[in-house]
C-alpha cells in the first residue's frame, strides 16, 4: 500500500493505467508505450516537496518498458538501429546520467536505453517498499527490460553496459541469462575499494546504533574521491535525481553484492565482455577490475585501462573520446556481420 493518501477512485484509475499498459506491452504488436501510462505518479519527491535542485536537461525521450517501473530513457538514431544498448547506472545516480553517451551512440546508429535501478531516480516519486533499493528485484527489472528491448528490436544485437554496481548487474545477467545479450561492457565492476576499513567502521557504527536507514553522510565524500573533475561533481550535486543521502544499509548491500562479481565472471563462458577501469578512479581499486577480468571464462574478453578515466566512465557529462571509442569499437566487433555506421559524424 502507498504511504500517502489517495482517493479510491484515483487509486483505481492509476492501477488501471498500469494494468492497461501491461496488456498493451505484451500484445502481438510490440511498440514503445507512453511513459505516462507506465508511471502515473506525482513528479514531486516522495516527501511531497518540490526539489530545489535542478532537473537535468537531456536529449533522450521518456518511454515505457516494464509496467510498474519508472519510464526508461531512450536515445534513438534517425534510421533503424544496427544495435541496442541497455545502460545501468552506479549506486546513487539515475538513468539520465547516460545522456552524453546515449546521444553520441544514437548518432552512430545505435539505440540506447537506460533505466532507474530500484531506490534511485524515478523510484523516489513513490513511497512504497517497491521503491526501495533491492538488488534481487532490480535484477528482474533488468531482465524484463532486456526481454522488451528484444521484442522492440527483433534480430538486432542487444548489449548491456553498467557502471560499478550497474556493471555487477550486467555480469550477473550474462552469467545467468547469456542468450539475452550479445555482449557486456562493465566499468569498475570489482568490489575492492580504497579506505575499505575506515568505511566499514563508519558504516558499521551506524548500523550498530540503529541508524542503518538514515543518511550515511558519506555520499559527497565518496563522490569526491571517485572523480578529480570538479565540474562533474558539481553537475551531480546540482542534479535533483542524484541521491546525496545514501543509507548505510544501501552502501553495505552494494558492497556485499559487488563481492560476487568474480563468481559471476567465472560463470560467463560465451558472452563477450569488455572490462574497463579509469586510472583516476579513487573509489574502486584497479585490482578489483583485473580480478573480474581474469576470472572470466569466455575467450571473447578485453580489458582496457582508461588513462584519463575515473569512476564515472560512461556517466560523465562529457564522456571521453577514449571511453566512447572503446565502447563503440567493442560493440562493432561483436555485431554479427561486423556492421558499422555509414556516417561517423557525431
Q: Kindly state whether residue 1 falls inside one of the protein's structural domains.
A: no
Q: Kindly state whether residue 182 falls inside one of the protein's structural domains.
A: yes
Q: How many other CB atoms sit within 10 Å of the CB of residue 216?
A: 21
How is 217-280 classified by DSSP, letter by letter?
Answer: S-HHHHHHHH-S-HHHHHHHHHBTTS-S---HHHHHHHHHHHTTHHHHHHH-SSS-EEEEEETT
Of 24-33, 98-107, 221-230, 268-277, which range is least confident?
24-33
Q: How confident is the model at residue 139 (pLDDT cuts 50, 70, 90)?
A: very high
Q: Kindly state whether residue 344 falls inside one of the protein's structural domains.
A: no
Average pLDDT over residues 282-310: 97
Q: Kindly state whether residue 148 falls inside one of the protein's structural domains.
A: yes
**Burial letters 150-168, b for 16+ CB under 10 A, else e:** bebbeebbbbbbbbbbbbb
Total domains in the fold of the chain: 1
Which residue range(s) make up the domain with 136? 8-338
Q: Kindly state whether residue 275 falls inside one of the protein's structural domains.
A: yes
Look at residue 40 in the predicted model and tell me its pLDDT: 55
Give the separation between CA 294 and CA 76, rounded to whole angstroms.
35
How is 23-64 classified by DSSP, letter by letter?
Answer: HHHTSSS--PBPHHHH--S-SS-TTS---SSBPPP-SSEEEB
pLDDT tens digits along 155-195: 999 999 999 999 999 999 999 999 999 999 999 999 887 76
Q: Kindly state whether residue 31 falls inside one of the protein's structural domains.
A: yes
Q: Kindly state whether residue 272 falls inside one of the protein's structural domains.
A: yes
Q: What is the CATH number of the domain that holds 143?
A: 3.40.50.1820
Q: Kindly state whether residue 2 falls inside one of the protein's structural domains.
A: no
Amino acid at each position: 500500500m502507498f504511504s500517502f493518501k489517495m482517493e479510491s477512485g484515483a487509486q483505481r484509475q492509476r492501477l488501471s493505467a498500469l494494468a492497461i499498459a501491461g496488456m498493451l506491452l505484451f500484445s502481438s504488436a510490440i511498440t514503445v508505450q507512453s511513459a505516462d501510462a507506465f508511471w502515473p505518479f506525482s513528479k514531486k519527491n516522495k516527501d511531497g516537496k518540490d526539489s530545489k535542485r535542478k532537473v537535468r536537461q537531456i536529449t533522450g525521450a521518456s518511454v515505457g518498458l516494464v509496467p510498474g517501473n519508472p519510464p526508461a530513457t531512450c536515445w534513438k538514431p534517425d534510421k533503424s538501429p544496427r544495435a541496442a544498448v541497455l545502460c545501468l547506472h552506479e549506486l546513487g545516480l539515475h538513468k539520465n546520467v547516460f545522456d552524453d553517451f546515449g546521444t553520441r551512440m544514437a548518432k552512430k546508429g545505435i539505440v540506447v536505453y537506460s533505466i532507474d535501478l530500484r531506490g534511485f531516480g524515478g523510484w523516489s516519486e513513490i513511497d512504497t517498499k517497491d521503491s526501495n533499493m533491492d538488488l534481487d528485484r532490480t535484477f528482474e527489472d533488468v531482465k524484463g527490460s532486456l526481454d522488451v528491448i528484444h521484442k522492440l528490436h527483433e534480430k538486432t544485437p542487444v548489449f548491456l553496459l553498467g557502471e560499478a554496481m550497474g556493471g555487477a548487474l550486467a555480469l550477473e545477467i550474462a552469467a545467468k541469462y547469456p542468450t539475452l545479450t550479445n555482449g557486456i561492457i562493465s566499468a569498475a565492476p570489482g568490489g575492492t575499494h580504497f579506505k575499505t576499513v575506515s568505511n566499514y567502521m563508519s558504516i558499521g557504527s551506524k548500523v550498530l546504533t540503529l541508524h542503518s536507514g538514515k543518511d550515511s553522510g558519506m555520499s559527497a565524500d565518496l563522490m569526491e574521491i571517485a572523480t578529480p573533475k570538479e565540474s562533474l561533481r558539481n553537475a551531480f550535486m546540482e542534479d535533483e535525481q542524484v541521491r546525496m543521502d545514501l543509507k548505510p544499509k544501501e552502501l553495505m548491500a552494494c558492497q556485499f553484492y559487488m563481492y560476487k562479481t568474480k563468481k559471476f565472471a567465472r560463470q560467463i563462458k560465451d558472452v563477450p565482455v569488455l572490462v574497463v577501469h579509469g586510472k583516476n578512479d579513487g573509489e574502486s581499486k584497479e585490482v578489483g577490475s583485473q580480478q573480474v577480468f581474469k576470472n572470466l571464462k569466455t575467450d571473447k574478453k578485453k580489458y582496457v585501462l582508461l588513462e584519463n578515466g575515473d569512476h564515472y566512465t560512461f556517466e560523465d557529462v562529457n564522456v571521453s573520446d577514449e571511453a566512447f571509442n572503446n565502447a563503440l569499437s567493442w560493440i562493432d566487433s561483436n555485431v554479427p556481420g561486423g556492421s558499422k555506421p555509414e556516417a561517423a559524424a557525431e
